[in-house]
Structure 1
């Protein structure tokens, strides 16, 4: 019987600066090596991918699935198999709607799928995770950056970063927070709350006063909000934004003089958003989950082959990493979800961003983060790497595993 409990909190975005000691066991093997081991009787390994093919985050979903396909090819050395078992993938569109995602996950579980991955949005991840625990299936959340996913239950893992890691990266731009005033400029909802909570915990916890300016998710005119931000006279504005309204938002901040009046820090969004910064680009300090050129390794080379024009984007690594984790889980666990969990806890491997480790205690994905700056202008605007932040310096505090 498929069961579901009430949905937990939802969230997104994270950072640098604060080094939080975390003890974890690293199982250092490559998913490519694992794929060579024989497993099962030739029956397919069924994986359900529930993600945004349509809706506000469809572009993120497109990157996720492209990354997934490239990662599966990489982890299985082009065979699409783990041992003698083909990986059979079923893709379902949730359109960013938690209700649709839950319905799709229930359907997949009813069909016997024991591995579910995807979740482009935080709202989706927050509702699919408890469903996975109730039905004892493996769930690997994707681009959804909600901090609430970490430690939510033992069946849930993640293939992307979380909000706390973004904010730790942002903290590096304010080395002496005591007595400083920080304003979080973000959208209402799970994504914005996640960022606000993380900034308060990380930068506020280091001595800064943190205020929030929440903008309605359906807003299209940002002039009034930009004026409010400038009048607040903060020492730093942390902007956390997602979706198609980013261009209008940045234009308003620039036109109202916000970018010239204080330090403004934000995360680097997908390629399509880069030109929308316009004249604002060079005025902003950037933190990054990922951008093309942030790393260069064997996995990156494999990803480029599977991406249109070889142009890597923000959430390609999340799909790629999800495939690596699925291959590891299936190889070591077969059809036994409990063994899959054991195989992933403490697992350390080389990925797109560099060395990644699944922290055993709460399933946080410890990973490098990046600082960047924009160069060029207009259509030629692009980020350059300033600094790669060590996973230990972007490590969220250990969350208590809830179930």
Structure 2
């Protein structure tokens, strides 16, 4: 039997993408199997037991409309590829069919909660998805209240980690981004300057840098810029005067292009290590003449990992007419986790599924992953990247280094 999917990738509209998590500008310039699993046949968890049984229903709640729709598309494409991979193409576990229903949250918390309550009322015990941190936190609350398993997707909020026993994550979190930024320099004793918008977004990134890199011995300062500023020359001068060892840029929105242009024109990018996050493919051309002068921390781009799982994922997504992107591995990994939980514990014993996931290590698209048992953080490799000229005046990412997961593991939650 094949996995049944409802309203999958073909239903997702491609829209302009938002900035990645803490760092990326908008495109127009305007977030090894372990021992007990390693004996499974083939590439995945499916053991070809012919026993059969009632289908296991999985609710995939993410944006198929709204500003995060393209992130939802990437997650869904990855999930389809991961389900195919983890079940050796059968869509079944021990002969039991996995039925996936995609529900559109539109990036709206109330809409997501309504969808979650509806499927839980129908007897679903597994949920996954969403790119919105606010939605993910709300779904985590629903998971705990109703005692169902929830594997969140690209949402990067650190508060998701350790929020409750029922919630796991299939992507990275913001603290892993910040720790990866620190891999570009010798952090102890370094002077790090955060350049960010003076709003909750920027202040949150400043706090993360202080909490992670400050704790490693860095001296952390900041240049916080009001959101309505459009002339950045004075702020670039402040950065130069501070003479930091590294500048961590946390920026999003319509002024991104002007901000990067100013840093470049004032020579900041020539004299100082400047690090920011490399987002989805739609943002690769957003840095203009600054493109090859910026150091990028990165969660994923298709050319970063070199392993058989990533190759299988890329081939599956491309064969389906899609393009692998920033959050494709998050969907793939979510499928791997769910298949593993079902294969070890069945699809209705939530406590047993939680136990099967806690401490599990497995080979995923980015390399070696481990689910930390204490708080369900997903320990995983991160990447250093640069942008290099591509065809037709485009810019494409190139891998600089892979940062081992244990080197950028977030502090334990709680």
Given that 1:12 and 1:194 are in contact with CA atoms closer than 8 Å, whether structure 2 keeps it comes out as no
Q: Does 1:290 align with 2:303?
A: no
CA distance in 1, matches of 2:93, 2:255: 42
CA distance in 2, matches of 1:338, 1:109: 16
Query: With structure 1 as the length reference, what TM-score do the two structures score?
Result: 0.84
Given that 1:185 and 1:237 are in contact with CA atoms closer than 8 Å, whether structure 2 keeps it comes out as no
- Which deviates further from its counterpart, 267-276 or 244-253? 244-253
The answer for the alignment partner of 1:323 in structure 2 is 335
CA distance in 1, matches of 2:323, 2:393: 15
- Pick from 248, 272, 288 the counterpart of residue 278 of structure 1: 288
The answer for the alignment partner of 2:235 in structure 1 is 228
Query: With structure 2 as the length reference, what TM-score do the two structures score?
Result: 0.82
The answer for the alignment partner of 1:376 in structure 2 is 389
CA distance in 1, matches of 2:187, 2:373: 32
Alignment length, in residue pairs? Answer: 376
The answer for the alignment partner of 2:10 in structure 1 is none
The answer for the alignment partner of 2:128 in structure 1 is 117
- Which deviates further from its counterpart, 221-230 or 339-348? 221-230
* SS class of match (2:343): helix
CA distance in 1, matches of 2:370, 2:131: 21
CA distance in 1, matches of 2:254, 2:409: 30
The answer for the alignment partner of 2:272 in structure 1 is 262
Pair 1:323–1:192, CA change in 2 (3 A): farther
Q: Does 1:392 align with 2:406?
A: yes
* SS class of match (1:35): coil
The answer for the alignment partner of 1:20 in structure 2 is none
- Which deviates further from its counterpart, 325-334 or 207-216? 207-216
The answer for the alignment partner of 2:30 in structure 1 is none
Pair 1:326–1:76, CA change in 2 (3 A): same
Given that 2:298 and 2:382 are in contact with CA atoms closer than 8 Å, whether structure 1 keeps it comes out as yes
CA distance in 2, matches of 1:341, 1:212: 41
- Where do 1:127-276 residues align within 5 Å? 127-178=138-189, 180-185=191-196, 188-189=199-200, 192=202, 194-212=204-222, 223-224=230-231, 227-228=234-235, 230-233=237-240, 234=242, 235=244, 236-241=246-251, 247=257, 250-251=260-261, 253-254=263-264, 258-260=268-270, 262-276=272-286
Q: Which ranges of structure 1 fall in alignment gaps of 5 or more residues?
A: 1-10, 15-24
- Which deviates further from its counterpart, 235-244 or 84-93? 235-244
Q: What is the RMSD of the two structures over their aligned residues, measured on CA atoms?
A: 2.8
* SS class of match (1:63): helix
CA distance in 2, matches of 1:59, 1:253: 30
Q: Does 1:312 align with 2:328?
A: no
Given that 2:78 and 2:328 are in contact with CA atoms closer than 8 Å, whether structure 1 keeps it comes out as yes
CA distance in 1, matches of 2:136, 2:223: 25
The answer for the alignment partner of 1:29 in structure 2 is 37
